[in-house]
Chains A and B, each alone.
Chain A
Amino acid sequence: MGIISRAFQGRPRDHDEKLPPGQYLVHDFPVLSAGPTPRVPLDRWEFAIDTPEGEVHRWSWEEFQALPQETPTVDLHCVTKWSKFGTEWKGVSLDVLMEDVESAAEYALAYSYGGYTTNLPLEDLLDGKAWIVHEFDGEELAPAHGGPARLLVPHLYLWKSAKWVKGIRLLNDDWPGFWETAGYHNYGDPWREQRYQGD
Chain B
Amino acid sequence: MDQLDYQDGNALAGPLSEIFTLDVTTAHGTCAGCGRRGVLAELRVYGPEPGLVARCPGCEEVVLTLVRGPKDAWLDLRGSVSLRIPIAE
Chain B residues with Cβ below 8 Å from A115 are 61-62
Whether, in the assembled complex, B41 has its beta carbon less than 8 Å from a beta carbon of chain A, the answer is no
In the complex, are the beta carbons of A80 and B49 less than 8 A apart?
A: yes
Residues of A within 8 Å of B46, CB to CB, are: 33-35
CB distance from B45 to the nearest CB of A (A): 10
A159-B49 Cα distance, complex, nearest whole Å: 11
By a beta-carbon cutoff of 8 Å, the part of chain B in contact with chain A is 2, 5-6, 46-47, 49-51, 53, 55, 60-62, 65, 67, 69-70, 72-74, 76, 78
State the majority secondary structure of interface residues on A.
loop
Closest chain A residue to B52 by CB distance? A34
Residues of A within 8 A of B (CB): 32-37, 78-80, 115, 159, 179, 181-184, 195-198
**CB-contact partner of A35 in B53, B73, B78, under 8 A:** B53
Indicate the member of B51, B55, B60, B72 with the most A CB atoms within 10 Å: B51
Chain B interface mostly helix, strand, loop or mixed?
Answer: loop
Which of B5, B6, B67 is the one whose CB lies under 8 Å from A182? B67
> 8 closest A-B pairs (Cβ-Cβ)?
A183-B74, A183-B67, A196-B69, A182-B65, A34-B53, A80-B49, A182-B76, A33-B46
